Copies of this chain bind each other. A is one copy, B any other.
C-alpha cells in the first residue's frame, strides 16, 4: 500500500458528503477484489461510495489534480479483475447510486449505475416491459458494470448484448467533466458514436453515472427443450444444426462435469451419464413456437441425443434455466477457479469444445465447460487447488492455452466478461499491434494522465 499525504485525503473527504469516504482498512478490504479474486489486487487508500454524479465529479477532479488512480466498481461481481484495487488508488463504488425511472411511452429506463440487473428488469416489468440482457449473475451484478463490460447472457443469442440496449448515458470524464451522450432516441447520428465507445470500456475512459436503456415488450412465454448427448461433438453438431435453421431464444450447453456439479447442488434430475446437455428455448408465439421446438427436437435427435425432453411449462423451463445459471457457484464449490470466457465463430464451436477437453487432459486439470452455445461463447471453468503449486501452474497453463486456441480459431479471449487485469496479457495476441495502438490512442486522448482504472484492459 502506497501512503498518501493525509492533507490530500482530507481534501477528498471534505469534497464529499459525510460517510462517503471509507479509509478504515477493515472497511476497505472488501473492495480490494471482485469475484475474479485477483491475487495481485492492490490496497486502496480509500473507497468512495458515491451517491450522485456530482460526487463522482468531485472524485475525478481531485484524482486528476493529484494524479491518483481511480478504479470504478459496481457490485463487484466482475470475473476478469476489472475492479481489482490498485495500490495508492481510490476505489469508486457506485453501489449507492440506485435511482431508476421507467417511461413506458418512449420505452426507456433511465437508471443510475448501482442498480442490479435484476432490479432494472423488475422496474421494466412493472410497466409490462423487458430489459433483455441477462448475465447468469443478473441477481447480483450491477447495470453500470453490465454497461462497462458490455455484458452478455443467455438470451443474447436472439436479443443481443448490453450495447444493443444502451441509448445514452451520463459519463464523468477523467478531468471531472460530466457529459451526456445520446438519449431516449432509437435513432441519433449527431456526432461520433461515443455512447457505444464507452460501453465495454471497463472504466478506462470514464465513469458512467447514468444510463438510458432501451426496453422492449415483455418476452412471450417460452417453451423449453432439454437434450442429453453421448459426446460433446454430437451436442455441438446439434447446436450448429439448430442455429442454421432458426434463432432460439436460448441455447445453452453443459458438459459432463457441469451437469454433475449442478445435479450435486440442485437435483434437477439431469442425466448424470450424459457427456453433454443442451438447454434450448423458443419464445415465438403460437404455431411458430411449436415449429421452432420441433426444429430443435429434430436437430437433437438427428445428432444422436439419447434423451430429449420438451415442455411448454414456463416454471419448468425457468427451473432448468436456473440450474444452468447455477453451474458457476456449483463448480466453485469444487475448488478455486480460473474462469474462461472465450468465443469462436459458430462453425468452430465443436473444435473449441473438443480442444478444451484435450487441453484438460494434457494439463491434467478438471475443466467444466458451460457455454452460451448459440452465440459461440463458452465458459471453460478450470478447477484447481491453490495449495497445490504444481496443479496451480498446470491450471494457469490451461488458462493460457484455451485463450490461444480461441484466438487461433478466429475467436476472442472474452465474449462478455471483459479483459480486466486477468486477461490483459493475452489481448495483444488477439488484436495485434496495430489495433492495440489504436486502443491506446483512444485511451490517451480521453485519459491523458492514465488515472482511470490503470492496468485494466491495456498494459
Query: How far is B418's CA from A286's CA once the two chains are assembled, in angstroms?
Result: 40
Contact A439 B200 (CB under 8 A): no
Query: Quick one: CB contact mask for A179-220 with B, threshold 8 Å, 1 for yes?
Result: 111011111111111101101110011000000000011001
Binds B, one of A8-16, A40-48, A240-248, A252-260: A240-248
Query: How far is B431's CA from A410's CA once the two chains are assembled, in angstroms?
Result: 38
User: Which residue of B436, B438, B445 is within 8 Å of A444 (Cβ)?
Assistant: B445
What distance in Å separates the Cβ of A174 from its nearest Cβ neighbour in chain B?
11
As for how many copies of this chain the complex holds, the number is: 2
Of A183, A375, A444, which is in contact with the most chain B CB atoms at under 10 Å from its CB? A183
Is A346 interfacial (CB-CB < 8 Å)? yes
Is A345 interfacial (CB-CB < 8 Å)? yes
User: Which residue of B160, B432, B446, B457 is within 8 Å of A164 (Cβ)?
Assistant: B160
Which range contains the number of A residues in contact with the other chain? 35 or more
Query: How far is B247's CA from A220's CA once the two chains are assembled, in angstroms?
Result: 13
Could you tell me which residues of chain A, from 234 to 291, have a CB within 8 Å of some CB in chain B? 240, 243-244, 246-247, 284-288
Query: How far is B191's CA from A457's CA once the two chains are assembled, in angstroms?
Result: 6
Query: Quick one: CB contact mask for A357-382 with B, threshold 8 Å, 1 for yes?
Result: 00000000000000010011100000
Is A455 interfacial (CB-CB < 8 Å)? no
Could you tell me which residues of chain A, from 54 to 103, have a CB within 8 Å of some CB in chain B? 103
Binds B, one of A150-158, A316-324, A325-333: A150-158
Is A427 interfacial (CB-CB < 8 Å)? yes
User: Which residue of B197, B243, B344 is within 8 Å of A197 (Cβ)?
Assistant: B197
Could you tell me which residues of chain A, from 10 to 47, have a CB within 8 Å of some CB in chain B? none
Residues in B neighbouring A244, C-beta threshold 8 A = 104-105
Q: Which residue of B lies closest to A430 (CB)?
A: B190
User: Which residue of B157, B247, B376, B434 is within 8 Å of A217 (Cβ)?
Assistant: B247
Query: How far is B214's CA from A346's CA once the two chains are assembled, in angstroms?
Result: 13
Residues in B neighbouring A412, C-beta threshold 8 A = 183, 185, 187-190
Contact A187 B415 (CB under 8 A): yes
Residues in B neighbouring A294, C-beta threshold 8 A = none
What distance in Å separates the Cβ of A234 from its nearest Cβ neighbour in chain B?
17
What are 20 A-to-B residue pairs whose CB atoms are below 8 Å? A103-B347, A105-B243, A156-B187, A179-B434, A181-B435, A184-B346, A186-B377, A187-B412, A187-B415, A188-B414, A189-B414, A190-B430, A191-B431, A191-B435, A191-B457, A192-B439, A194-B442, A197-B442, A285-B285, A285-B287
Chain A residues in contact with chain B, CB under 8 A?
103-107, 149-150, 152, 156-157, 160-161, 163-164, 173, 177, 179-181, 183-194, 196-197, 199-201, 204-205, 216-217, 220, 240, 243-244, 246-247, 284-288, 343-347, 372, 375-377, 410-419, 423, 427, 430-432, 434-436, 438-439, 441-446, 457
The 9 closest A-B pairs by CB, nearest first: A196-B196, A445-B445, A187-B415, A285-B288, A186-B375, A188-B412, A441-B445, A193-B200, A286-B286
